[in-house]
Chain A
Amino acid sequence: MNLVGCSVVENREIAPGNFLLTLKVPRGFARPEPGQFVHLRVSPESEPLLRRPYSLEGFVERGKIRAVRIYYSVVGRGSRVLASQPKGQELDLIGPLGVGFTPRPRRTSVLVAGGRGVAPLLFFARKLREKKRPFLFLFGARSSRELYGVREIRGGRIHLATDDGSVGYHGSVLDLLKRQWESGEHTPLTAEIFTCGPHGLLHEVAEFAAGRGIRCEASLEGPMACAVGACRGCPVPLLPGAGGNGGRYPAMCIEGPVMDATIVDWERLP
């Protein structure tokens, strides 16, 4: 982890309100793992005050050039400012940070993505393909317009779901997951789940996994101040059996953002 300067190579609106940002980073920037994030200063000005944490959609190495890719939606002040940054803009970031996805050997990875939560899972799917490991990619979004990146996925089976039925299964990605599981192809010994998306979806996926004894990791999202474990501003509430009841709050920034989804107290996670 380091503080490095970076510059905007591309900051493109690929669907209404959704942007793909490519930032050139120096060669000294450590190669990130899927699920890790960067803490980005979204403007050279002092507003907004805090950095914003973004999971990486990818890491590009071409010759001597290194770049990180971020897929983000405009949801608030920070992302609005970020969306206005033109090509060539100099910014800086701290990273790579946090704990990424940790697949177990000889298991099929079932990736469950909701909306822009697809970002770290696209990175993860590329890595799985490189390692020639089997995976299944389940991707749900509101409509076909938000199914970013799906055409780039190689090396695994893909199933899509949309809320409006514009493509794929008409319904939620959770239903897709249930149908896949009910086909009997996978068992807790042969497959594990990796999920990212709105916390409501992650909660449902976690309950599904916990109820069937399936190992399940989720990539969480939330505001952070320092992002290096110092300020304790990003606590993750845990279930009572897992040291919850306020007994211990892991910091999302250093013990996450990818965590065992079945120990998170989703009811108390904002």
Chain B
Amino acid sequence: MTHASPSLRVRVGSLTLRNPVLVASGIIGYGQEYERLVDLSQIGGIVTKTVTRHARAGNPPPRVVETAAGMLNSIGIENPGLEGFLEIKVPVLRELPCAVIVSVEGEDVQEFCDLVEGVSGSGVAHAIEVNISCPNVGPHGLRYSTDADMAREVMSAIRPLTQLPLIAKLTPNVTRIADIAAACEACGADAVSLVNTFVGMAVDSRTRKPILGTVVGGLSGPAIKPLALAKVWEVVQAVDVPVIGMGGITHPRDAIEFLLVGSTAVQVGTALFSNPELAEACVKEIESYARRAEVPSVADLIGALDVPAERGMIRAGRTLAPR
């Protein structure tokens, strides 16, 4: 039996995405910047550039450098702040023909609360991605997602403030990412997304200087895909909420790998700069893969990795697929 058109719909909390392909935060701005290059009506949605409580000018240059099969960035969350976002960006986002997930980051718990209330009240967001994992914003940057207690503190504070699905975005720069994911789940996260960038550094031996203006930054791109897959694999075994996987998706088949490992949805990032049609191509590849696999729904692919039982480490009472 072949299924003429497998269903691509997936659910993240109360949000139903028409397909599991999103564009990651920091890649596509607020959608408008890429409107002539990406057909947003074909993809599941976008995650906005992270919004902070107050406007940020971002880090001094250089902010990006290409490395072997990757890119280091140190943007520093340049954004117009919550008020600027509500005034300038919300009207733009309202017109987008796809789900809008707004990424927020606070410097303390109160700022996270202000942001969640503000974004929730704007009516434009279909979900909120809680960025507790940016490596490029000073001392507080990685605090909330490298410490399970602090992640708990943020998630418990914001959970009562919105009905919208809350997606905790996690850093891979920890010893046990599963512990942080479980802490977020226990405090009401509807999903977790991972990975944010890996802390990295590039050096110019000729000038004896670091290349990035902030010395260290975050590594993305195909170089991190195997690392990201392993983190996703670790987390899907630790939580029951949906996992949104990302990290180095460069070819459409990479998106399939993240689904098989257990991601309910995927986010496309750095490689979109080179290939603006990548997100749409991932959707097509997922559809065609599901058709070839003769499954009625993409949900049947999520966590469908064929792993020897003794390697699976699947928790008692839980199956990986379908969710």
Contacts and interface: CB of A to CB of B under 8 A. Distances in A.
Given A94-B37, A235-B60, A50 B274 contact: yes
Given A46-B250, A49-B221, A232-B78, A3 B276 contact: yes
B60 A222 contact: no
A224 to B, nearest CB: 8
A6 to B, nearest CB: 15
Interface string B27-63: 1110001101100000000000100000001111111
A235 B78 contact: yes
B63 A232 contact: yes
A211 interface: no
B57 A247 contact: yes
Nearest to A270: B62
Contacts of B71: 49-50, 225
Interface in B253-301: 270-271, 273-277
B63 to A, nearest CB: 5
B20 interface: no
Contacts of B29: 229-231
B271 A235 contact: no
Contacts, number: 105
Interface in A209-253: 222-237, 246-249
A249 B275 CA distance: 26
A225 B78 contact: no
A269 B276 CA distance: 28
B65 interface: yes
B227 interface: no
Contacts of A223: 62, 64-66
A46 B78 CA distance: 28
B73 interface: yes
A225 B73 contact: yes
A269 B61 contact: yes
B69 A237 contact: no
Interface residues of A, number: 36
B277 A231 contact: no
Of the four ranges (under 10, 10 to 19, 20 to 34, 35 or more), the interface on chain B belongs to 35 or more
Contacts of B61: 222, 234-237, 249, 268-270
A246 B62 contact: no
Contacts of A246: 57, 60
Contact of B63 (A233, A247, A269): A233
B177 to A, nearest CB: 25
Contacts of B28: 230
Nearest to A228: B33
A228 B32 CA distance: 10
> Secondary structure of the A side of the interface?
loop
B222 A49 contact: yes
A48 B321 CA distance: 36
Interface string A1-33: 111000000000000000000000000000000
A46 B271 contact: yes
Contacts of A230: 27-29, 33-34, 49
B215 to A, nearest CB: 14
A81 to B, nearest CB: 12
Nearest to B66: A50
A41 interface: yes
B75 A233 contact: yes
Contact of B37 (A3, A41, A50, A233): A3
A164 interface: no
Interface in A25-58: 41, 46-51
B13 interface: no
A157 interface: no
Contacts of B251: 46
Contact of A249 (B37, B57, B66): B57
Contacts of B27: 226, 230-231
A77 interface: yes
B76 to A, nearest CB: 8
Interface string B126-162: 0000000000000000000000000000000000000
A268 B62 CA distance: 9
Given A230-B27, A235-B58, A246-B57, A50 B222 contact: no
B246 to A, nearest CB: 16
B100 to A, nearest CB: 15
Given A230-B33, A232-B58, A237-B61, A49 B78 contact: no
Contacts of B26: 231
Report the 7 A-B pairs with minimum CB-CB distance, sorted nearest first: A230-B29, A230-B33, A233-B64, A232-B78, A225-B273, A233-B63, A270-B62
Given A229-B33, A230-B29, A235-B59, 15 more contacts: A2-B36, A46-B222, A50-B274, A77-B66, A222-B61, A225-B71, A225-B273, A226-B34, A228-B33, A231-B26, A233-B75, A236-B61, A237-B60, A237-B61, A247-B57
